[in-house]
A and B are shown apart, each in its own frame.
Chain A
Amino acid sequence: MPMDIEKIRSDFPNLRVKVHGKPLVYLDNAATTLKPQQVIERITWFYSQGTSNVHRGVHYLSEQATAEYERTREKIKKFINASKTAEVIFTSGATESINLVMNSYGKSQLKQGDEILISEMEHHSNIVPWQQLCQENGCVLKVAPINDNGELCLDAYKAMLSPKVKLVSMVYISNSLGTVNPVMDIITTAHEHGAVVLIDGAQAAGHLAMDVQELDCDFLVFSGHKIFGPTGTGVLYGKADLLNRMPPYQTGGDMITSVTFEKTTYNILPYKFEAGTPNIAGVIGLGAAIDYMLDIGMDAIAAYERELLAYGTEKLGAIPGLKIIGTAKDKAAIISFILPNIHAHDLGTLVDEEGVAVRTGHHCTQPVMNHFKVPATSRASLCFYNTKEEIDILADAIRQAKTLFP
C-alpha cells in the first residue's frame, strides 16, 4: 500500500514552521527527527494528567506510570524482536548505551592485550569510549578500513579477526556516508572467532526493520530522538546471559533489591541497569513513536526512502561540480556532498535562507573526513515525511548558492 505522505506530514506540526519566511524543508533527520503529534500528545498527557514516579508507589498514578513505562519496553522488545523483555534497557541515548557497555562489560570482561575492533566509519561515540577503555586497561583498539565508496573493506575486516579480538563494535548505517554495513556477515564472522558484537543502530532503527534474534548481535544501541521520539531516551539491547554477567553501571535507587550498610543486592534485569528516576515521560513518548513507525510499517518506510535516495542522488548528482561522498552499493537515504569553491558552512548558511535545514561539518566522524581528505561535508538526510519536491528545493538552493561562488 502506498504511503499517504500528505496525511503523514500533517502529523508533524514542526513541518508547518516557516524559516526566514519560507516553509521549512527539514533534511537533517540523521541529527534528530521531528516528532509526530501522537508523541507530543503522550508527553503532554503524562505531564498534565499522568505524572508520577515509576516502580515506587502503590498509588494509582504510580501504578499507571509504571505500566505505561513498561509498555514501551514491551513495544521495543517487539520492535527489535528481542526474545525477552528484560533484555531491553532504557538509557538516555545511543551514546550512553555504548558507554554503559564499555564501563560495565568492557571493564569487567576485557583485559590487557585484548583487541577491540571498530571500523573507520564509526561515529565518535563508538570510538572515544573504546579509546578510554584501552587507556584504562591496556586493550588495543583496531580499526577496519573503508574503501573510497565508503564501504567497509570486508576482507580486511575478516583478516583482522582473531582469537585476540574480544569485542567488535560497528555501525549499522553510517551517519555521514549512508553506508549500510553487511551486519549479518560482520556478526557471524566475529562470532566464529569468539568475539562479542555491538551494533550501533542509531541510524538504522528508524529506517529499516531490525531483528536482533536474526542478526544474533550481542548488543544493539539506538537513540529515541532519531526515531521520532523524545530527546534523552535511548535503548540498550543485550543478550540476557551477557547482561546478567555484567556489573551495574550506575548505582542508586531502583537498581537494588535490598540495601543494608553491610551489603546490597542488585535488582534483576533490566532494573539493574536503570538506577534512579528514568526519563519516564520520554520513554512513554517513545512508545508512541514506535507505534507510529509500525503503523506505517518499516518495510514501507524503507521502500519509500529508497525511492527518495534514488531521486536525490540523481538530482544532486546533476549539479555541476557536486561530488557525493559515500557511494556504497547498499545505502540509506543519507547524501553527503561537497562542492568545489564552496565550503560546507557557507552552503549550509545559504540554503538555510531558502528554509532548507541540512547538516554541515564533520558529523562526529572525523576519521571519515580524513579518509576522503575533506574538512567537512554538507549532508541531506531524508526520512519518510520528506518529498521529492523538497529535494528539488534543496537542489535549487544549491544552484543559487553556487552563483555567489563562481
Chain B
Amino acid sequence: MSAHPHRELYQQVILEHNKNPRNYGPFPEATHTSEGYNPLCGDHLKIFLKIGEDNIIDRVSFEGDGCAISRASASMMTTAIQGKTVPETLALFEEFQNLVTGKLDPDRQPHHLGKLTIFSGIWQFPSRVKCAILSWHALKGALERQASVSTE
C-alpha cells in the first residue's frame, strides 16, 4: 500500500466524474430501469436503459445520491457500456466485479475494462467496494428484468 492509498482512490478522473457526471438524469425512451440502494451509506442510484435491436444498449443514464466513488463509478459505467451488447455488458460486469474485489489484476490478466481500471485499488477498502459496485448491480438488475421479459 502506498503512503497515500486514499489519494489513489480519489484521482482526478474520479473527482471530475463526480463533479460532472456523464449521462445524468432519466430519459423518456428508457425501456428498462432499476434501482440500487446501499442501506449502509444511504446511497441511492437509478439506472435507465434503452435496449434496441440486436440486444445493443442504445442509451444508458443514471441519477441519484451518493458518495464520489459511487457517482463516478456510475458515470464511468454509462460511458463504458453504451453501444455494447447485453452479453458483452454482463461480461464486463463480471470483470469489474473481479477488479474491485481484487480477483483480477489488470496489469497481468486480459480484460476489457479500459478506463475502469482506475478502480483497481479499491479492494483495499472493503467498505468502499460496495460504493463502486452499486451502479453495476443496479444495471444487472435492469438487464435481468429484460431477460425475464424476453422469455415471456
Contacts and interface: CB of A to CB of B under 8 A. Distances in A.
B8 to A, nearest CB: 10
Contacts of A344: 41, 67
Which size bracket describes the interface of A in this complex? 20 to 34
Given A345-B128, A361-B41, A405-B15, A375 B10 contact: no
A375 B6 contact: no
A365 B68 CA distance: 23
Interface residues of B, number: 22
A376 interface: yes
A349 B66 contact: no
Tell me which of B18, B42, B68, B69 has the highest count of chain A C-beta atoms within 10 A of its own C-beta. Answer: B42
A366 B125 CA distance: 24
Given A343-B66, A343-B68, A362 B42 contact: yes
A366 B42 CA distance: 9
Given A343-B66, A343-B68, A404-B10, A375 B42 contact: yes
Contacts of B67: 343-346
A11 interface: no
A2 interface: no
B68 A375 contact: no
A350 B6 contact: yes
A16 interface: no
A273 to B, nearest CB: 32
B9 interface: yes
A361 B128 contact: no
A346 B71 CA distance: 11
Interface in A342-363: 342-346, 349-350, 352-353, 360-362
B5 interface: yes
Interface in B1-52: 3-7, 9-10, 15, 18, 40-44
Interface string B74-101: 0000000000000000000000000000
Contacts of A78: none
B131 interface: yes
Contacts of A343: 41, 66-68
22 contacts: A343-B67, A345-B43, A345-B67, A345-B128, A346-B10, A346-B67, A346-B68, A346-B69, A349-B6, A349-B125, A349-B128, A350-B10, A352-B6, A353-B7, A361-B40, A361-B42, A375-B42, A375-B43, A375-B65, A376-B41, A376-B42, A404-B10
